[in-house]
Amino acid sequence: MKNISLIMMDWLKSNCHSRVGGNLLILLMVFLLGSCTPKESKIYKNQNVGGALGTSYNIIYLANQELDYQKEIDSVFATVNKSMSTYIPDSDISKINRADSTVVVDEMFQEVFQLSKEIYEKTDGYFDPTVGTLVNAWGFGPGKEILLDSTRVDSLMQYVGFDKVRLTPTKTIRKNNANIRFDFNAIAKGYAIDRLALLLDKKNIQNYLLEVGGELVAKGKNVVNQRPWGVGVQDPEAERAKVSIQLKNRAMASSGNYRKFRVDSFTGEKYVHTINPKTGFTKNGKILGVNILADTCAEADAYATAFMAMDIDDTIKFLSNQSALDAYVIYFDERGETQEFITEGFKELIIK
C-alpha cells in the first residue's frame, strides 16, 4: 500500500565487481560514488531482482565472495503469500476471510496480527487491517466492487474494527462477525522485507540494502566505497528526488495518494487508495506523502498507512510526542501550498 517512487543509480565504477541492476519503477537507491575497492579486498556486489507480492524487488548484499540466495528469497515470498495474500484463494488469510475458523495460523501470521493490534491501539484505530470488506467494496482488493453511498458504507462499518477479532491460544482466529475480512497489505510487504533481512542476518551478511515495492531495510554500509547507503525520496509533485538520506540499520516505508487511485468510469470522481477506517470512506486529504523510518519495515509500513488516514494536525502531533519513529511528511496547507514536516532525527540523516 505504500507508494514511493525512486530511481536507481549505478553506484560502482566500471572496473569494480558489479552486476548493474535497476528498479526504475519503484526506488531511488543513491549509492554514493567513490573510488573502487582494491581487488585484493574481494568485495562483491551480489544482487537479486525480480517480481513478488504484486510488485518488484531489488536485493543487494555485499560480501567477500559471490553469493546467490535466490531460492531462499523465493521461499520467503512464497511463505508470506501462503500466509497473508488475499489474492491467493487457498492462503490462510483467504480461508479466514471466508469464515473458516479452523485455520491454525503460522508464525508469520501471528507476528503480523500481534503487531497490527499494537499499532491499531497506538494510532487509535487509524491503522486497522479489518478494512478488507471496504477495500473490496471501493475496488482496491480482490473482491467484488460495489456502488457505495453513505448508507451502504455505514452498513459495512459493522465489519470493521480490530477489537472485533482475536488470536486464540490454539492459534486460530475468532471474529465477532463472520463477514469481517482481513487485509494485511498495509503491513505484509514491510514484514516480508524484515524476513528477508532476517534471512541475510542468519547468513552472517553484514552489509545489505533490501527493497520491495519501494520499501527498504538497510544494514551496515556500502563497503565498496566505505560510505553509508544513500536513499533518495521522491518529490510527490515531480519526477525527481526531494531529498536523499543516509540509511543504516533502519527501515523505511512510504505512502502517498499521488499515484495510486481509481477514477469512476461514469462520474469521473477520483478515489484514492487510503481508506479511513473511522469513516469507511476513501481519504483524499491534505497529506501528499509520508516517509517513515523505524526499527522494522513492518512498523514503518503500518504507521505510514495510518498517517495517511489521519488529518495532518493529528499526524504531526503523534510524531512530535514519540521517539521511536522519524518522519518526513509532505502536505498542503490551508492555502493549498506545499509544506513539510520533518522530525529532527530525519533531518540529521539528510545528505546536504
Q: How many domains does the chain have?
A: 1
Helix ranges (DSSP H) in 33-106: 70-84, 92-97
Give residue 176's identity as a one-letter amino acid code: N
Q: Is the residue at 116 inside a domain? A: no
Helix (H) or strand (E) holding 319: helix 312-320
122/139 Cα distance (integer angstroms): 28
Q: Is the residue at 111 inside a domain? A: no
Winning range, highest mean pLDDT, from 10-24, 38-52, 131-145, 199-213: 199-213
- 3-class DSSP state of 35: coil
The grid coordinates listed for 159 are 465489519
Residue 67 burial (CB count, 10 A):
16
Q: Is the residue at 60 inside a domain? A: yes
Q: What is the pLDDT of residue 84?
A: 97
37/18 Cα distance (integer angstroms): 11
Q: Is the residue at 335 inside a domain? A: no
β-bridge mates for residue 33, sequence order: none
Question: pLDDT of 168-187, one tens digit each?
Answer: 999 999 999 999 999 999 99
Q: Is the residue at 175 inside a domain? A: no
Helix (H) or strand (E) holding 59: strand 55-63
Q: Is the residue at 101 inside a domain? A: no
- State yes or no: pLDDT of 93 exceeds 70: yes
Q: Is the residue at 214 inside a domain? A: yes
Full residue range of the structural domain in which residue 42 is found: 28-78+189-250
Q: Give the pTM.
A: 0.84
Q: Is the residue at 105 inside a domain? A: no
Residue 79 burial (CB count, 10 A):
15
Residue linked to cell 560502482 = 12
- 3-class DSSP state of 301: helix
Question: pLDDT of 11-47, one tens digit each?
Answer: 333 344 443 333 333 344 544 434 444 445 689 999 9
Helix ranges (DSSP H) in 104-252: 107-122, 132-137, 150-156, 185-202
β-bridge mates for residue 341, sequence order: 329
Q: What is the CATH number of the domain that holds 199?
A: 3.10.520.10
